[in-house]
Structure formats: C-alpha cells, structure tokens
Structure 1
Amino acid sequence: MTEIKKQIDILASSKERWMNLSIKKRTKFIKTLRHLIVDKQNEIANAITLDTGKPVTESMMQEVSASLGMLKYFESNFPGWLKERQFKYFRPGFIFKKNIIKYDPLGIVAVISPANYPFSLPVMQTAFALLCGNCVVLKPSEKAVHVNKVIISLFENSGLTPESVLVIEGDEKPAEEIIRHEEVRKIIFTGSYENGRKVTRLAAEHFKPVILELGGDGPAIVLNDANLSLAAKSIIWSHCYSNYNSCIGTKIVFVQKAVISEMKNLLEVEFSKINFGASDNTNTDAYIKYKKELNSLNVIEFTSEDEAIRKVNELPTGLSASVWSNNIRRARMLANKINCGMIWINDLSVGIPGIAWGGSKLSGWGRLFARSAIPELTNTKTISIEKRFTSRPKFWQYPYVSDKYEITKVVNSIVFGKGSIKQITKVMGKYFKVLFKNHHK
C-alpha cells in the first residue's frame, strides 16, 4: 500500500463527519478560511508572484481578491442553494404526492490545479466542493512551491485539514494515483487540453466523471460602432495579463472591416504603454516578466456579423468571448449565437461570482461556482411521498381491465389535448368506478 493510498484511506474513514455537518457549520469553516486569507493577503500575493512571475498587484487583485469575493458569495448563497425543494404534479394519481429534491454529497472529490492560477483556483474549487458536503483531495501544481506551503497552512489553521481536506503535492504520478483511488468519486481538472485528455481517459477506466476546464482562445468581436479606445485597452490587458497565460485571455480579435486600421493602431499604442521587465522583487511594477511581439495577438478582419459568428464558432475552443459595440441590442444578438460558456459585452476576462464557470468544445465540460453547478458535485436525489390517507392501489396498476385503456385514452385527450366537458363527465364516472373496484379487491 502506497503512502498516498494510506492518506486517502484515512480521509475516507472520517468523511462521514464532514458529510453530515449542516451547511451552516460548513459555512463557518469557509468563513474562518476567508478571514485567514485576509490576514495573510500580503504573504499570499508575494508567494503567487514568486511562483508565477506576475506583478504583485496583479496577484493581489486577480487571485487574492477574487478568492475572497468568491468565498463570501458562497457563504451567503450556499444555504439557499442546498435547501430541499418541493414540487407538485397536478394529474390524477399524483396530485396528493409530496415530492422532494435534495442534494447529497458525493463523498471525496479530487481537485487537480494548474500553475497559472496556483492560489485562487484550488481555493475556490476546494471551497465549492466542501460546501457541497464533500471531502477534498487537492493536488496543486508542482510548480507553485511557495503558494502550496501557504495553502497547506491556511487549510490547517482553518480546521479543514486533516478531516476534510488532504493536500498531496507532486507531479502527474500522484495525480494518477489519486484518480485511481476507489474512494474518489469525481475529479475537477484545470489545465491543458492534452493533460485533460489523459485525466479523462484514466477516469473513464475507473468509471468516474470529470469536470474539465481546459482554456480557450478568448475571441473578441469588435463591431464598427464600438468604443475602439476602450476595446483596445481592454484587449491588450486581457492578452498580456497572467504572463500571456490566462485561460480566458484574448488571443484572437475579429475586427469589422470599416475600423480595422484604426483598431490595429490603437492596439499598438496600448501595447507600447506596457512596462515590461523581469524582477525578483515581488514589489516590482513590471507588468509582464518578458515581452512578446504583438503579432502573438491574432487580428482578423470580417465584413458581416454572420461572418464574425461563423469564424468564432469555427474555433476549436469555447470557454469565453467578448463582443464590443455601443449598440447593446446588436451585441446581445451576436452573443446569443456564440458557442461558448461565458461572454462579456464591452468588457472581458472578469470572474464574477455567480457565473457558471466552464466552456464547450475543446475547452472542456462541466460548470462551477454557481447555483446551476450544484448538481455537478452532489447526488441529486428525489423522494416522492404518498400520504397515508391517499395511499392506495393506483389506477395504472394491475389488473389491466378493458375500461382502463379507454379511460386512459380519454384522459390523455382531456389533459394533453382538447377534451370536452361531456368527455370529462363520462370518463370521471368510469375512472372512479374502476378505482373503487381495485381498492376493494
């Protein structure tokens, strides 16, 4: 038995305690974690910068603040999201049933995190899984040695480790062992398309579902009525931040023919304003560790809106996109036709709490961070209750006497078609007659 298997076995032996905690108590742990992050925010931002080369201000805004905002949002909304829901179905035989939908934890969820966002993604994904009632095995990036130490300390000091969170460091070998472990019910993977395929293939061998976030091209569509100055400034930032390595960063810009020359000039101007330069000082103002040529941003001309949509939808990825226009109705119509998970109009690359985070095509599948993502990390269970005074043999049970066929046919016409009052009166008499016979047999 390997050390990793032993560690996961120990986590599995205590998982029931976390799974049976009320959402109110789980939320208190996340609140404690959030307060610890606030207390350690300088240390966290500096660790992120040491591991990624990002400017410390970007580390603070894009990872520390983003995590704090998401955790606070979870604390406020999870109690309502996980609340049991009831519904009725108004049809003979179902009217008096009490139907309940509830969300049960899966057990243990694995989170395999990337190097480009070594703090925010593992913390937010782990918190989401924990609040759903799951224990978590976290495999952070082996490239984020400073951030990993901080994360381990935060989980320990918040009381989440060792009973509900297990952090296992290393390369792909530990990740493979985590995926294979029989107690791990689902995997959240963020990374490259090729590594996503490897994870999916291994998970499939063990009949385990996977949530995949594999990045995208972040295409921007700039229409001829857009605020070009704003679009250029935002697109250059989106292209360059996170050292050109954001999963939702803009890599392709489709510009309408009438404004492409002006737009290219504005992009050049905005790119020239960036302060490039490497530094070991985490307090540096250098925006980007190294400089690329601006031709790393692919600018493509289009004539009609249909052409722009076609070109965007032909891209192999579908994580995010942006549309730029002063006519919001026009921009919204285009956004509705784009095949991807997240679209910004006159803005981009902004992680807003409540967004169902995820994509389509080669960007992966599954969603996180929103109410609609709750079924991803829970077992959605339905309980249908027949009350005592209405609990009796149902019309659709044996015996299948001849009257039942005709009654069912007329009921279908009345309930789902265009039934008449005369039909209703006739069929209800037969219905109660058959029901009475069945009940007294």
Structure 2
Amino acid sequence: MLVEHVSLFLGGEWCRPANRRRIPVVSPMTEDVIGSVPEASPRDVDAAVAAARSAFDDPQGWSSWDPARRADALELLASALESRAKPMVDAVSSQNGMPVTIGRRSEAAIPATLLRYYAAMILRDPVEKERESLAGGSTLVRREPIGVVAAIVPWNYPQSLTFFKLAPALAAGCSVVIKPAPETVLDAYLLADAVIEAGLPPGVVNIVPGRRDIGAYLVEHPGVDKVAFTGSTGAGRRIAEVCGRLLRPVTLELGGKSAAIVLDDAELTAHTAQLFGACLVNNGQTCYISTRILAPRSRYDEVVDSVAGLARSLVVGDPLEKSTQIGPVVSRAQRDRIEDAIDGALAQGARLVAGGKRPAGLDRGWFVEPTVFADVDNSSVLAQEEIFGPVLAVIPYEDVDDAVRIANDSPYGLGGTVWSADAERALGVARRVQSGSVGINGYLIDPASPFGGVKASGLGRELGPEGLAAYQQTKSIYLR
C-alpha cells in the first residue's frame, strides 16, 4: 500500500506546500515506490524558519518556559513516540534497509531515551551559577538557548540522529527546523504526529523534506542561529564554509574509517556479536563502525578466518524479518558505489576472502554480500575512503606501536575499537588512538557521553552534557 502525504508540518499544523514537486520513496527490498511526500521549496523553508523564529522570540513562548515545564513537554513527546514505536521502526526499515532488530534498539528506543535524559538534566542543572570574580565581587554566568536551529539529518539512522539534535535543542529552549534526507521522509511524518499529540507550541518543531538544494538554502537562511548536521565529510566542509562566513555556530558529525585493533591476546570467538555490532551493524551503513581490522602478523590468518567466517554466517534478507542481520543498502546508487569499491580493491591486489557479490536467491533489492578483504595495504583506497556498506579490510601490523600508527594513519577519527583479553592493556592502547570515541571489546554509543569526531570526522560533540551545551550560549553578568 502506498503511503502518500500531501502536506508539510510547519508552524504546528499541516500546510499546503508551495509547489507540486514530490519526493518518491523507493523500497530497497523490492525496488518499488512505497510512498511519496511533498518536496519543500524555498518558500516553505521561509515559512518554517519564520514559524520557528516566532516561537522562539515569543516572550511567553518555549524559550521562556521554566525548565520544569519544558521537561514535562519532553516527557509527553517521549511517550507519544513510544506509542508509535512499531510503525516507526517499520517505516525506517522499509526505506533504508535497516534490519528491524537494529531499529528497535535505535529508532524506537533512542529518541525517548534522549528526551528523558535531557529533561532530567535541565531539572537538575541550574541555568545560572554565581562565580567569584578575580576583580572583586562576583559574576553570574547564565546559559541561554541559542535560538533557531537547522537540523539536517541523514538516512542511515533518521530518528536516532534527529534526536541527537532535537532532544538537547528542545531542552535548551530552542526551536528547530528539521530537514530529513529524501531517502527517509515517511518516518518524519510519524514524528510530526507525535509532536502534535505532545502539545508542543506551534513552530517549536518544523519539518521540511527536501534534497541538497533545500538543505543548502536552510543552512544559509538569515533566520537560522545554529546548524547541526550529520552526513558526509564533503557536505560537512561546504556547510562549515558557509557557517564560517556567517559566523554561525555549527556542529558537524561526519564520515569515518575507524580501526579495530585486535591485540595478540584477543579472544574474538568470545565476542562474535560484539564484533558484528562494531564492524557491520546496519548493513555497514554506520559512520563509526570499525571497517579496518588491524591484526597482528602472528595471528593474521586466524583473524582473517574469524572475520570471514562471521561475514559468511550472517543472515541476509528482508529487513522486516526478525532473523535478518544484513538487509539491502539504501539505494541502487549506493550499491553501485559499494560494488565499484569492491572492484577497485581487487584491482589494487587485495585478496577477497568472503562475499564480494550480490547474494544468490535475492534477485530484487539492493543487496551486497558481507565482504571481507585480506592483504590490504593501509594506503589503499579501500583502507582510506569510507565505503558505507558491508565491506571490511583486514590489515596486518607488526607490534602495538605499528597498530596505533596504522589506526591513526587516516583522514578520519570518529570511532574505533580495541580487542584484548586484558582490559587495562586495551585501555592503554585506546588512549593512543586519535578518535572521538573508542570501544573496548565492542562499541556501543553512550547517550550520557559526548560523541563526535576529530580530523575530517567533524566538529563539536553531541550527546551527554556537551550535547546540551551545544544549543546554549553563555552570558556573564558582572555583579558588585
């Protein structure tokens, strides 16, 4: 059944779009169109930003509500989202190929978790704190909401990554204009329904489905006070240039090519599920995953066999089936890019030890077998460029210093893992990795801790107290 929407969610109500252009949604499983939504125009973005500005500037509005009142509203929104958990997960999986078992942990659970986390934080942490002044007297340091936020969200974890931005922004008192990715727009309508049910004031949340041109228009809009973006490094650089020229605060969570350092005492057979989650989760369409696996030469063949065995064991199929571990990638273009990368790795001399083809028996859908290459040089394209698919490269190293050097020899620095039977030893190695986050014997994002990258993986941090601070600006009031 086709899911067709005819309106845009602007200013707290369903509005007629300014043009007739539409965004079709295509199933990565069947390759059929499963729905469509209006494509926002610059006029619609103008209306969304105006509604957000009006909501923020209202002297009695959202930004002026006391923390307890805002926290209550966030709790209501969390409950409204939880009541839509199953249709939300099904919508996301139907659009981007995410296995529903992953969607239940991410798209269904994380938004409500973050709303409640930040609701508790604004109740606990005072907006104003007095400091002793070195000049005598004291200073009142006040944290205020930054204003109207443009939140530009990717397709791989559309709801989770929306709420990496939306939850702290709302908690701070900001109003938000969300631009979802064109590949995943149907779930955004479920979010809008939840916003209405929760009774958030008109204009606090607005949604403008669109393509890159609409994202660029929103980033440059004079009514926007801050930009929060998750996506490719190339797009992030362009956004950073615009925000730099405008002196506009920006948070960028970008690409990655993280390394899994397997130490010589690691027990990979005891961590099969964790290895899958750290290296192949969501069909490899995850920014932080460890797609470079660094193995000691003394155990290289063993590690290669273990990783290849894992790849071959995974159930590939319909993302809506509970047993599926690897679904289709999001689009035909994405599959083409992954297959080009596989061909390029073979041409550069890498040894294919698992996968590398389209799975047998799945004639429709944008599937790629979980793929593993051995004998990979860290200077190769396969090791240096983000593929965003289920493709792993196993790279040999001589000793721990060499492993750390290889891990850090990357333009990126977002995630990473260290695998060892000795947690203290692994911790010592993790401290040396140039990355915004590192997991030990697995990788699982902690909503209470800062997340983000270094180098070409981005600017700023989301989640944790740092995530709230990103939507606040400080004011010093000097007292005598």
Question: Normalization by structure 2: what TM-score?
Answer: 0.75
Q: What's the counterpart of residue 423 of structure 1?
A: none
Kept in 2: contact 1:52–1:116 (CA 8 A): yes
Matched residue, 1:34: 78
Give runs of ≥4 in structure 1 deviating > 3 Å. Answer: 230-233
| 8 A Cα contact 2:44 2:208, kept in partner | no
Report the CA distance between 1:233 and its aligned residue. Answer: 4.1
- Name the residue aligned to 2:398: 303
Determine the C-alpha separation between the residues in 2 that align with 1:239 and 1:332.
19
Give the aligned partner of residue 258 of structure 1: 298
Q: C-alpha displacement at 1:120, in angstroms? A: 1.2
With over 3 angstroms needed to count, the CA separation of the structure-2 counterparts of 1:112 and 1:178, relative to structure 1, is same
2:160 equivalent in structure 1: 120
1:345 aligned partner: 440
Between 105-114 and 167-176, report the one with greater CA deviation.
167-176
In the alignment, the residues of structure 2 paired with residue 251 and residue 187 of structure 1 have an alpha-carbon distance, to the nearest angstrom, of 29
Q: Which amino acid aligns with 1:87?
A: R
Matches of 2:290 and 2:243, distance apart in 1: 31
Alignment partner of 1:212: what SS? strand
Matched, 1:162 2:206: no
Instruction: Check 1:190–1:335 CA distance in 2 against 1; reply closer, same or farther (3 A cut).
Output: same
Question: Shift in Å at residue 370 of structure 1?
Answer: 1.3
User: CA 1:39 to 1:373, structure 2 compared with 1: closer, same or farther past 3 Å?
Assistant: closer
SS of the equivalent of 2:182 reads coil
Partner residue, 2:407: 312
CA distance in 1, matches of 2:273, 2:372: 14
Distance in 2 (alpha carbons) for counterparts of 1:322 and 1:238: 8
Residue of 465, 472, 479 corresponding to 1:371: 465
- Aligned equivalent of 2:426: 331
Work out which of the residue numbers 87, 99, 106 in structure 2 matches 1:62. 106
The secondary structure found in structure 1 opposite 2:169 is helix
How far apart in 2 are the matches of 1:10 and 1:78?
A: 25
Where 1:219 maps in the other structure, the secondary structure is strand
Q: Is the 8 A contact 2:415 2:436 kept in 1?
A: yes
Is this contact kept in 2: 1:358–1:365, CA < 8 A? Answer: yes
2:169–2:175 contact (8 Å) kept in structure 1:
yes
Deviation, 1:251, is 0.6
Distance (whole Å) between structure 2 residues aligned to residue 210 and residue 40 of structure 1: 31
Contact 2:85 2:108 in 1 (8 A): yes
Q: Give the Å deviation of 1:254.
A: 0.9
Question: In 2, distance between residues paired with 1:230 and 1:171?
Answer: 44
1:195 is the counterpart of 2:247: no
Equivalence map 1:346-361=2 (5 Å): 346-348=441-443, 350-361=444-455
- 1:43-58 to structure 2, matched below 5 A, reads 43-58=87-102
- Tell me if 1:7 matches 2:101: no
Q: How does 1:182-221 map to 2 (within 5 A)?
A: 182-221=222-261
Letter in 1 for 2:414: L
Match of 2:340 in 1: none
CA contact (8 A) 1:220 1:322 kept: yes
CA-CA distance at 1:374 after TM superposition: 3.3
Is residue 66–residue 351 contact of structure 1 (8 Å, CA) maintained in 2?
Answer: no
For the residues of structure 2 that align with 1:161 and 1:116, how far apart are their CA atoms?
Answer: 29
Residues in 2 aligned to 1:161 and 1:283: alpha-carbon distance in whole angstroms: 38
Answering whether residue 193 of structure 2 is matched by residue 153 of structure 1, we say yes
Distance (Å, rounded) in 2 between the aligned partners of 1:173 and 1:368:
25
Question: In the TM superposition, what is the alpha-carbon distance from 1:231 to its structure 2 partner?
Answer: 4.2
Name the aligned partner's letter for residue 18 of structure 1.
Answer: W
Which structure shows the higher helix fraction?
A: 1
Counterpart position of 2:280: 240
The percent identity for this pair of structures is 25
Kindly state the Cα deviation for residue 284 of structure 1 after the two structures are TM-superposed: 4.9
Residue 327 of structure 1 and its aligned partner are, at CA, apart by 1.8
Match of residue 335 from structure 2: none
**1:173 Cα offset (Å):** 1.9
In 2, Cα distance between equivalents of 1:132 and 1:74:
9
SS at 1:7's partner residue? helix
Q: CA deviation at 1:205?
A: 3.4
| CA–CA distance in structure 2, aligned partners of residues 51 and 83 of structure 1 | 40
Residues 264 and 233 (structure 1), Cα distance of their counterparts in 2 relative to 1, 3 Å cut: farther
| 1:21 positional shift | 0.8
User: 2:15 matched to which residue of 1?
Assistant: none
1:99 and 2:139 aligned:
yes
Work out the CA distance in 1 between the residues paired with 2:118 and 2:44: 33
Change (3 A) 1:124 1:159: farther
Question: Post-superposition shift, 1:106?
Answer: 1.1
- Counterpart code for 2:474: T
- The CA distance in 1 between the partners of 2:268 and 2:183, in whole Å, is 38
Work out whether residues 136 and 164 of structure 1, in 8 Å CA contact, stay in contact via their aligned partners in 2: yes
Q: Distance in 1 between matches of 2:55 and 2:86?
A: 34
Please tell me the residue identity of whatever aligns with 2:419. W
- What is the DSSP-based 3-state SS (H/G/I as helix, E as strand, rest coil) of the residue aligned with 2:449? coil
CA deviation string 1:371-418 (max 9, x = no partner): 1333321111222211xxxxxxxxxxxxxxxxxxxxxxxxxxxxxxxx
Larger Rg: 1
CA gap of 1:22–1:366, structure 2 versus 1, over 3 A, is same
Deviations 1:299-333 (A, max 9, x none): 11112211111111111100111111122222111
Contact 2:55 2:201 in 1 (8 A): no
2:119 equivalent among 75, 92, 115: 75
Note if contact 1:31-1:75 (Cα within 8 Å) is conserved in structure 2.
yes
- Please report how far the alpha carbon of residue 76 of structure 1 lies from its aligned counterpart in structure 2 after TM superposition: 1.9
Distance apart, 1:360 and its partner CA: 0.3
1:138–1:165 contact (8 Å) kept in structure 2: yes
In structure 2, give the amino acid aligned to 1:73: Y
Tell me whether 72-81 or 296-305 shows the greater mean CA deviation. 72-81
CA-CA distance at 1:161 after TM superposition: 5.6
Match of 1:288 in 2: 326
Q: Distance in 2 between matches of 1:268 and 1:258?
A: 18
